[in-house]
Structure 1
Amino acid sequence: MPSPPHGPQLEKANKIRSEETPMIIALEEHYFDADWNAQADTPRHSPRPDTPFLRRLSDLGEQRIKEMDEAGIDLQVISHAPPGAQGVKDADSVSWARRTNDRLHAAIQQHPSRFAGFAAVPTSDAVTGADELERAVGSLGFKGGMINSLTEGPFLDDKRYWPIFERAQALDVPIYLHPSDPNPAILSTYYKGYAETHPMFIRAGWGFMVETGTQAMRLVLSGIFDAYPRLKIILGHLGETIPYQIARIDEALSRDTPMKNFREVFSEHFYVTTSGFFSTPAMQCCIDEIGIDRVLFSVDWPYASNVAGVKWMKECAMTDSDKDKIFSGNAKRLLKL
């Protein structure tokens, strides 16, 4: 298992920042594996065209590190861009995830002081997916797993998927729930007519939040955290709107249902990142509602700008110690960096 950055490695990473600046760890930073197009579950997911953006997304070396250095980011925790393993044909998803995790591991080994990884976790067979998560964590040194939503079939609260969460608890690593395009039935019902004219409406503009926020809420309601009381989940984009609604959610669910403590369960098991959401009022809401120890810095590179994300965080009106927690302290603790 590769060692986390320490000693000379950490000193090397720290050269790009001054002693007065906290270490900066960004942990929802994406890449694209070259083999994905060959295994994509078409027609549900179209192959990615060769574009300058895709070439940046595919880079695991010079270009990525150059942009990190320009912003002062010391370490990226890298994960496959959506839909990842959830967009690969079921018959191929396990073998694809294994090969992909091996290739990402090799790239991390080339830059161990700058990169870490979240494993691609296949969900077509949850027991096999759990085994791959264990291999990636135990043998490759990954810091957790990434699941890119599920756009067809049952939600993640279905017990067929629980072996993955059970294994994550046993390994003491988080599962990062990342959005993907909404369920096809939802696309037709909620977004018909606008998916073509305003494609970000179904994605980062609204659809991603609805899709992943619903996944997270269903996990809380399912009782999975009673079964696995040490399970940890990460949500990007400042919690996919849940922290801003949590007071009303908590009150409403307590009226006439068995869920009397939504806020307590959510705040105990979920972490949120700033990925692609550089809003001080929104972040302050998260801090007020779930606590600063649950908020972690992320950029969502290359979909969002490293420079913009770091600049925003540095200019936020908060104490240096609080910035240090968000920039790296909370991530060090959660991911054992």
Structure 2
Amino acid sequence: MKFGQSHRASTKLIKRLTNSQRLFISCFRGGLIHMGKTDQAVVLEEHFASRAFSDEYGVVGPPSLFLGDRQKRIDELDLDGIDVQVLSHAPGAAQALERQLSVLWSSRINDELAEWIDGSRRFGGFAALPMADPEGAVRELDRAVNELGFCGAMIHGQTGGTMPDDPCYHDLFGMAEALGVPIYIHPGFPQADVSALYYDAYAERFPMFRMAAAGFTCETMVIAMRLMLGEITNLFPDLHLILGHLGEGIPFLLERIDESLARDNDGERFFKERFLRHFAVTTSGNFSDAALACTLAELGPERVLFSVDWPYCDTRKAREWIDGADLSPQDRHAVLRGNAERLLNLSA
């Protein structure tokens, strides 16, 4: 049989395979099989955009950002070794709209996601919250978890100059603690004057400078530190928070941060203990062996969770990277799914 005939025959055979058979072949080719077993992952920083919101305000992103054929998405997850994909709204703009609009659109976005998930165990949701209305954010988190079945919420940086550590959000963090769900602290843009001062000189030539290359990390690192310096650590000792991108630089700087802040606290260290008590971090968009090794050393494998940052990052490449990482079988299971199952209260 010639190559062309053999290839066509193989293609016909693959089309007749079940999803589980395709999954095995995909895992074998992609290096996901480890000693005859494959650990199906739970991923937490994966995005979508509401079509209704986009029609109203405009959303720039790849076509795959919009919710489409759910079964097709499930087939793609199967091929990439993903068991559960937790989705969150990629543009954080809804939280910063005028108060009434923020409440309206956060609710619509969450309803659209819940309707699309439609009870499938393959997907979870992080709620969009109307941070412009702190009381509305509390109500929407409660509704999203108790009525829509969401896993928690995602917030995007500051809101109109109000930082997440502001006392106006204490009730929100208290609700998250009471519900036993995490809040994911996702990057957002700083205030316009701050952004202009630090990034405008290079924004045209290097637009990612103000975003993933530096701006997002710096902004989110400061927000996470403020949360640990404020009152919420005492008010809500069981609150769970999540950072993406392997901790937004904090693991690399953790010793310096802890030692420096102790100078302002009569020599007593406190920051690292607080950070380890409240934060878990994901690998989203930061697939570096060295950065992962540092994060594991500083935080421990029980606080690191595999994620992709889909569709901005490629799931297959991320999966191949984590499967090549230097992890024990126990730590690999924890990072791929065990930690997420515990943090998100997922059934095994």
Shared fold by TM > 0.5?
yes
- State the partner residue of 1:90: 99
Pair 13,126 (structure 1): closer, same or farther in 2 beyond 3 Å? farther
* 2: CA distance, partners of 1:102 / 1:276: 27
* 1: CA distance, partners of 2:336 / 2:47: 18
Deviation at 1:116, TM superposition (A): 0.9
- State the partner residue of 1:233: 241
Q: After the TM superposition, which of the residue ranges 234-243 and 12-21 deviates more from structure 2?
A: 12-21
**Matched residue type, 2:309:** D
Q: Secondary structure at the match of 1:29?
A: strand
Answer yes or no: is the 8 Å Cα contact 2:49–2:59 preserved in 1.
no
- After superposition, residues 69-84 of structure 1 pair within 5 angstroms as 69-84=78-93
Aligned with residue 277 of structure 1, among 286, 296, 306: 286
Deviation at 1:228, TM superposition (A): 0.6
* 2: CA distance, partners of 1:183 / 1:197: 21
Deviations 1:44-103 (A, max 9, x none): xxx225xxx532100342553343233111110000003242243333011111111111
* 2: CA distance, partners of 1:246 / 1:185: 28
Answer yes or no: is the 8 Å Cα contact 1:86–1:149 preserved in 2.
no
* 1: CA distance, partners of 2:215 / 2:173: 25
Aligned with residue 150 of structure 1, among 131, 143, 158: 158
Q: Structure 2: which 5+ residue stretches go unaligned?
A: 1-18, 25-32
Q: Secondary structure at the match of 1:182?
A: coil
Answer yes or no: is the 8 Å Cα contact 1:294–1:330 preserved in 2.
yes
Whether 1:34 and 2:51 are equivalent positions in the alignment is yes
- After superposition, residues 172-251 of structure 1 pair within 5 angstroms as 172-251=180-259
Q: CA RMSD in A?
A: 2.0
Percent of residue pairs identical:
43
Aligned with residue 116 of structure 2, among 107, 112, 133: 107
**Matched residue type, 2:48:** Y
* 1: CA distance, partners of 2:132 / 2:21: 41
Pair 90,59 (structure 1): closer, same or farther in 2 beyond 3 Å? same
Pair 15,231 (structure 1): closer, same or farther in 2 beyond 3 Å? farther
* 2: CA distance, partners of 1:87 / 1:335: 26
TM-score, normalization: structure 2? 0.86
**Matched residue type, 2:174:** E
* 2: CA distance, partners of 1:122 / 1:93: 5
- State the partner residue of 2:318: 309
Answer yes or no: is the 8 Å Cα contact 2:182–2:239 preserved in 1.
yes
Q: Secondary structure at the match of 1:239?
A: coil
- State the partner residue of 2:264: 256
- State the partner residue of 2:23: 16
Answer yes or no: is the 8 Å Cα contact 1:31–1:79 preserved in 2.
yes
- State the partner residue of 2:28: none
* 2: CA distance, partners of 1:285 / 1:329: 20
Deviations 1:18-69 (A, max 9, x none): 76111211110000001223554xxxxxx225xxx53210034255334323
**Matched residue type, 1:119:** A
Answer yes or no: is the 8 Å Cα contact 2:39–2:336 preserved in 1.
yes
Q: Structure 1: which 5+ residue stretches go unaligned?
A: 1-11, 41-46
Answer yes or no: is the 8 Å Cα contact 1:26–1:75 preserved in 2.
yes
- State the partner residue of 1:9: none
Pair 204,252 (structure 1): closer, same or farther in 2 beyond 3 Å? same
**Matched residue type, 2:287:** F
Structure with higher Rg: it is: 2
Task: Figure out how many residues of one structure are paired with residues of the other and give that number.
Answer: 316
Q: Secondary structure at the match of 1:21?
A: coil
Deviations 1:190-244 (A, max 9, x none): 1122122211111110100011111100011112110111111000000110111
